[in-house]
Amino acid sequence: MRILIVDDEPAMQESYRQCFRTGNDGDDASVLSDMAAELFGDDAGQEEASATQQPEFDCTYKMQGLDAVAAVRAALEADSPYAVAFIDVRMPPGIDGKETAKRIRELDPDINLVIVTGYSDFSPLDISRAAGPADKIFYIAKPFEVEEVVQTATALTQRWQADRELAAARVALAEKVELLEEQKLELAANESKAMHLANHDTLTDAPNRLAFQRALTEHVRAQHCFAMGMMDLDRFKLVNDTFGHLAGDELIRLVYGLLQTCLGERGMVARLGGDEFGILAEVTGEDDAVMLCERLIREVSTTFRIFGHSVQGSASFGVHVVEARTESDPIDVMRRADLALNEAKRAGRGVVRVFDESMDESIRFRRQIEGGLSQAIARGELKMVFQPICSHSDLEVTGFEALMRWNSPEYGPISPAMFIPIAEESNLIHELGDWALDEALAMLNQWPGQYVSVNFSPRQFRRTNFVGHVVERTQHAGVEPNRLQIEITETAIFDNAERAADTLYRLRQMGFRIALDDFGTGYSSLWNIRRFALDCLKIDRSFIDGMGRERESAAIVHSIIHLGKALGLEVVAEGVETEAQLQALRVAGCSHMQGYFLSRPVDADVATRLAEQRHLMPVEEPVPATVSDEDTQPGNGTHG
């Protein structure tokens, strides 16, 4: 450690030399410890006592203040600064100790100054004001003892070293904070890009099916009169077969441009897939909707010049009008428009058809299903199956998703995608949901530690005293809350975000796990993820399925995984059906997976064996090309 001594008396400089020659003997360790404790507290004293030897001092002696200032400047330039300076107050004929201390402090803010004097024209307060801060100025009276000087030098050099290490740590921490801020901005940019890719068609940059379904849901909730149309290009396959797929792609781009220009601010145009477009617009009634669709047909019934070829455009329209203040289901609205489009094609193409009840033969069937569903629990027609959720590294079974199945005596196996929406439209959803929750909780007493994940529909989530209801049934089953994972979609929380945030917070406080299902297909955003108390993100199976074919799907999957990691959330990939998907998800860092490649949904007894076995080996055979509707339809959760 480097020490600067400034004193104009040779005898005093010799005294300092005697001090530092005897200061390294090691006999005064306990005295030095006491000194450090008195100056800087007990911790410093303990550290001093644990030291095996005193630091070695490299002393520089100067007779005058100006020489000392120059020495400090040179030391800083050489990157070898002084830790401590002992300064005599009176040093004629040059500058006095106060001025010397002031100039040294201006050069080196970190040096510790020790003022040594028998008499001073300046008070300690004067010197502190000139060369502060006060915690870096100390005083020794002449004549001094050897131990006093050595102890002070030892304590202050160690403090100086600690201050340097602390400053370095602060710089490193600041760099880390800056890096985290950069990563945060990059994450937000990636999210914005991923969200755009998730909601826009790559060919036309038009809103895609997901964005259209969201807009359709908003129109339904607004309860104003609107028309939902579906348009299909006539004889589009002929264009592809004759001029090639590039020409077909160009035709789709041109048609979208015409539709967007014609509709303008009045409504929305989306590409739903292939040569099919969806239209949303506020209308005054059925006649207004038909006139709008006919105008759009006229716009696209023109001759397009594509790569030097003339292509005649033509289209068919199916439209469903939703009257104001009408309770509707968005999926059902789209289904009815699609039925109307099919009727338009059967009518000879190039026409508009409006949906009417005669087109929907399934309405009667749906009513029959609703009647049978109300008796299904009492008749023992429902059962729960369980699909394992495995960790990515060793395929340890950490939990199961509970899934509902219905085998009707009249109609045979019925897909949850069919009977859950029917139950959702009535109060049957609560009865089904309670039964499913009780069945799932009962399984936990047979498993060695896994959790069960239960889906709750939006209507269930909005149920009065939902939290109390879940707590009551969990306590009745004798199950710890952390073994129940509540799965919801963003649709369930979007209607009333404030109430949803409070509900999720209370559930988390009680120990329940919260998972956001079908992540990436709803209203997902960083704000929602931050706002709602979550434990897990579940990547929708559509993105997993598209990973090997579409760069967009792979980018979305990677973004969701990185987002989950950054927020400390578990990420579960649903619908893992091939080894390639499993390995790609492992490389991407996905924490958990579930899907046919690992295990199909299994009966309760098989689930118990898998739980006791703990680790799962993926199936060797590929997923069959043909599977049942109940396993492939979306929403085949606990009761959906």
pLDDT tens readout for residues 602-620: 999 999 999 999 998 755 4
CA triplet 394, 399, 405: central angle to 5 degrees? 125
Residue with tokens 């348009």: 231
2-168: CATH architecture: 3-Layer(aba) Sandwich (3.40)
> Could you tell me which residue, 228 or 524, shows the higher pLDDT?
228
Task: Give dist(CA 461, CA 337) in Å, integer.
Answer: 29
Residue type at 184?
K
DSSP state letter for 482: G
289-304 pLDDT, tens per residue?
999 999 999 999 999 9
The DSSP annotation for 412-451 comes to EEE-HHHHHHHHHTSTHHHHHHHHHHHHHHHHHTTSSS-E
The backbone region for 595, taken as left when phi is positive above 0, alpha when psi lies in -120 to 50, beta otherwise, is: left
Closest CA to 436 of 368, 382, 491, 513: 382
Nearest to 320 by CA among 450, 391, 227: 227
614-628: burial string, b at 16+ Cβ within 10 Å, e else = eebebeeeebeeeee
pLDDT band at 427 (very low <50, low <70, confident <90, very high): confident
Q: How many helices (H) and strands (E) does the chain have?
A: 25, 21
- Per-residue pLDDT tens for 6-56? 998 888 888 888 888 754 444 444 555 565 566 555 555 555 454 445 678
Task: Evaluate whether 227 touches 353 at the Cβ level (below 8 Å).
Answer: no
Pick the CATH number of 403-589 from 1.20.1300.10, 3.20.20.450, 3.40.50.1100, 3.40.80.10: 3.20.20.450
Q: How confident is the model at residue 343 (pLDDT cuts 50, 70, 90)?
A: confident
| Cis before 133? omega within 30 | yes
* Residues 301-334 pLDDT 10s: 999 999 988 899 999 999 999 999 888 899 999 9
pLDDT tens profile 464-507: 889 999 999 999 999 999 999 999 987 777 667 788 888 999 99
Contact present, 386 and 400 (Cβ < 8 Å) = yes
| CATH tag, 209-360 | 3.30.70.270
Q: Which sequence spans correspond to the domains of the chain?
A: 2-168, 209-360, 403-589
Res. 86 pLDDT band, cuts 50 70 90: very high
For 583, the 3-state DSSP assignment is: helix
Asked whether the beta carbons of 420 and 376 are under 8 A apart, the reply is no
**Does 481 sit behind a cis peptide bond, omega within 30 degrees of 0 on the bond before it?**
no
Residue 73: per-residue pLDDT:
94
The residue among 461, 487, 332 whose CA lies nearest residue 404 is 487
Percent of the chain topping pLDDT 90: 49
Rounded Cα distance between 290 and 270, Å, is 19
Residue 639, pLDDT > 50, answer: no
